[in-house]
Amino acid sequence: MWKASAPSNIALIKYMGKESAVGNVAVNPSLSMTLSAFLTNVEIEPISGGEDRWEPLPSSAPLRAESTKRFVNFFTRIKQEREIAGSFLIRSGNNFPSDAGLASSASSFAALTMAAFQAFASVSGKPSPSLSEQAMVSRTGSGSSCRSFFSPWCAWEAREIGPVPSRLPDLTDLVAVIDSGFKKISSSEAHKRVQASALFEGRPERASTRQREIKTAMASGDLKRTAEIAWAELWDMHSLFHTASPPFFYFSPLSLAVLRWAERSWEETGTGPITTVDAGPNVHLLVPTAEKDRWRRELLAAVPGISLLESRA
């Protein structure tokens, strides 16, 4: 049996819009922090005959039929491309709540790719490809999963995926988990719809500029500048959603209350969290780990009624 686990990640520069859906070719570079507390575990073992199959790990929730199909098809494709014979049972599960609205496709596809390459190496006797090459393969299953291969910071720039040097302090992501009740638009659907937004023109250039700027800010340990760039990027991506065709949005009143709290904190005290929101209502607040308990208390006092999960990089 082969086992692997991989973390989720949260992007500060967002992958949004595909040049090609085949292989998930992004229109722009992206950059994220890994979330080591939100892990997917995968186990693979050979089975006799039939097709590759999936099962949840004990005490894990079953996947939706559509997600199971996407997961197994990805495995079967990369197995066939490497001419690996035989059939396999894949088991997987997350160590974080599946109903918390935290994207699990990044950690799932990264862990599956890592376990698959262990299996292929042992069946074929050939060595596993490098981590960057594995990340490139994982990208073809779920774009954002390629950034789960390098920790704590990872950049995905065209065909390059690798670690990002940072002198920022050790950060913890406080995730304000908000139950929206709004109809969820999948990220695959979002990637398609944003291309029809009038704001999509110039988007790859804006994201590329921010990618360069945020790397500079991170390299010099400039938390304030990093937060300003992440803030601009959050509104850029969500503005694409609001002006897409058809338009859609993820924010709930509680998301906005948390965002206003973060904004006020910067305005009134000159310090605050690095704030971002993915394709969902939850707000991610990256704060220095050494100060996380204070931030947690202040947020819960300002916005009662939210629940918080947390993960270090």
Of residues 258-297, which lie at the interface with ligand PMV (CB under 6 A)? 278-279
What six digits make up the tokens of 14? 């967002």
Binding mask 200-239 for ligand PMV (x = CB under 6 A): ----------------------------------------
HEC assignment per residue over 194-207: HHHCHHHCCHHHHH
* Alpha carbon distance 208, 236 (integer Å): 13
One residue of 6, 27, 35, 103 binding ligand PMV per CB under 6 A: 103
Among 105, 107, 148, 197, binds ligand PMV (CB under 6 A): 105
How far apart (Å, rounded) are the C-alpha atoms in residues 81 and 113? 13
Nearest of 92, 87, 79, 138 to residue 113 by alpha carbon = 138
Q: How far is the CB of 279 from ligand PMV (least distance, A)?
A: 4
Buried b (16+ CB within 10 A) or exposed e, 151-162: bbbbbbbeeebe
Number of residues that bind ligand PMV (CB under 6 A): 14
> According to CB under 6 A, which residues from 28 to 47 bind ligand PMV?
30
Task: Give whichever of 43 and 233 is closer to ligand PMV, judged by the CB atom.
Answer: 233
Q: Does 244 bind ligand PMV (CB under 6 A)?
A: no
What is the rounded CA–CA span in Å between residue 154 and residue 161? 7
In the complex, least distance from residue 234 CB atom to ligand PMV, rounded to whole angstroms: 10
Residues numbered 127 to 146 that lie near ligand PMV (CB under 6 A) are 142-144
DSSP type of residue 220: T
- Tokens linked to 92: 């997987």
Among 6, 7, 8, 15, binds ligand PMV (CB under 6 A): 15
Span near ligand PMV by CB under 6 A; candidates 13-21, 65-73, 218-226, 261-269: 13-21
Candidates 7-15, 49-57, 67-75, 86-94; binding stretch for ligand PMV (CB under 6 A): 7-15
**Between 60 and 188, whose beta carbon lies closer to ligand PMV?**
188
Q: Give least dist CB 80 to ligand PMV, A.
A: 23
Residue with tokens 């009624």: 305
Encode burial over 4-18: b for 16+ CB neighbours within 10 A, e otherwise: bbbbbbbbbbbbbbb
End-to-end CA separation in angstroms for the chain: 28
- Cα–Cα distance measured from residue 75 to residue 55, given in angstroms and rounded to the nearest whole number: 14
Rounded to a whole number of angstroms, the minimum distance from the CB of residue 236 to ligand PMV is 12
Residues lying near ligand PMV in the complex (CB under 6 A): 11, 14-16, 30, 103, 105, 142-144, 187-188, 278-279
